[in-house]
Amino acid sequence: MLLPWDYGVRNLARRPIRTLLTFVALFIVVLLVLVVIGFVRGLERSLARSGDPDVALVYAVNSEENIESSSINANVPALITASVEGAWRRYQVVHVSPEMYLGTRVIAGGQINGLGLVRGVTRTAPLVRKDIRIIDGDWPSKGEVMLGRLVASKLGTSELSLAVGQSINFEGRSWRISGRFVAQGSAFESEIWCGLEDFQTATKRQDISLVALRLSPSSIGLLQLFCKQRTDLELRAIAETAYYAALQKHYGPVRILAWFIVALVASSGVFAGMNMMYGAVAGRVREFATLQAIGYRRRSILVSLIQEGLVLAAGASVLASAISLWMIHGMAIRFTMGAFALVVDEFAILIACAVGVSIGCFGTIPPAIKALRADVAASLKAI
């Protein structure tokens, strides 16, 4: 025969301080798990959304995946469009975007805020980067820049210092902020965009970093063949989705480390829960002995103790999930690749709640078994 369900629930209220401490410990563990998983999911989503299956990238073959170090001749876009068929056209405008991509020190709000990612583009860039949408201000003119919504997080400065109409400095020039844009959570949201010619003048360079072009999937092979044949240009062509998939593999060790931290936090939470339950159970020896004396089996008492742990763990998991959705989800953090937003989705909540419930269940069993193995007669005399 099992103990009544409300017996275990009422026991939680009889020891409010101990119950509150156990609840807070479980809440912190679940919240930490959610933060780490949100980091992993945010990184994965940012890289996954950055690739477009209809876009190909052409850059220097010796730069591998590091486009910032790529340098190719400025006439490469014209050579590609003249030699490779399949590029999208609309109103006789070819969907090709020559770009210069560079990391440089940025000064905003009167102080150096760190390394910013600047992309020099032309008016054809939105034809290729179709996810770009201006949410405030206008497209940059000469001497102006347009900022992604995560640039402030990347630079570690306030949103007010990067408002439309303010100025930032890089490459020895002052640039007026003309607008802000979003890109559906992709890596572009942590970038600063300006005119390509302006950027070339500021950096005293005539080359470009890459060419992005929108073309039919069957033409990517032709583009790659062109790059192999023109060995004098030293070019490499790759689908944009393949490029960001390679970046995901590059950040694979980071994700593995993050999951290891999740396992470490979960295991430490189990031991913390066991420690708390040892203290809680140690003061209830006479109670357990009395229940056994009036006819309840040890298995029934163990089930009631597990029920108490599960109720606490479930409540802490629900509260931690609600807090994370309110405060953590969408929080932007800096990273080597730029910045991205933490993502607390269904998968993150499922894993975190599973960890919390596991702690509530398995953290209760060892101390409960130890207490229930004690002799009934001796336990009844315990103080």
Kindly indicate the confidence band of residue 57, based on its pLDDT and cuts at 50, 70 and 90: very high
At 123 the three-state DSSP class reads coil
Are 144 and 194 a contacting pair, CB within 8 Å?
A: yes
User: Taking 70 as the threshold, does the pLDDT of residue 383 lie above it?
Assistant: no
Are 258 and 335 a contacting pair, CB within 8 Å?
A: no
Give per-residue pLDDT as tens, 215-230. 887 788 888 888 888 8
HSE toward the beta carbon, residue 8, CA cutoff 13 A: 18
Burial class of residue 143 (count of CB atoms within 10 Å of its CB; 0-12, 13-18, 19+) = middle
At 66 the three-state DSSP class reads coil
Are 243 and 105 a contacting pair, CB within 8 Å?
A: no
* Beta strand 210-214 pairing with 55-60: antiparallel
Identify the weakest region by mean pLDDT among 18-22, 134-138, 237-241.
Answer: 18-22
> Higher pLDDT residue, 18 or 273?
18
pLDDT of residue 178: 94
pLDDT of residue 176: 94
Domain ranges of the chain: 5-48+251-380, 55-215
- The whole-chain average pLDDT of the chain stands at 83
